[in-house]
Structure 1
């Protein structure tokens, strides 16, 4: 599915404080907003509609072609035993 960008306005000093304290939690405003928007979507959009959109999205996604297999290195051929050939020729 195509993604869209959402723009919000927020007080700059509050945003700076939010960034500082979320950093201490190893999180970010982006992560928290993504999570909140996902929760809002799940609470608001009925499950059959979500399932339909998920199925539609999965069908639209092209499957990745399998990776080409790497050819195996050819085993070196054993060298001909010249002494054995010489003996057979002498017989």
Structure 2
């Protein structure tokens, strides 16, 4: 059963007063699943869930290469001879 921060003081108090066994089960985001059993014995764990392969992150595009302007190079007129160039 999932618990939130409001029940943490009650669980902490019970852990100090009674025999408690806790088992780390799994991470979940920035939290964790930790089953606790009071009164002896081991907590009952659910069946393990197989890991699912994460999809590969999208590839980043390389920035477009800017053409290098050479001031003394010959650049033909893109309009051609029809503009008397």
Richer in strand (by share): 2
Structure ranking higher on relative contact order (CA contacts 8 Å, 6+ apart): 1
Q: If the length of structure 2 is used for normalisation, what is the TM-score?
A: 0.32
Richer in helix (by share): 1
Q: If the length of structure 1 is used for normalisation, what is the TM-score?
A: 0.31
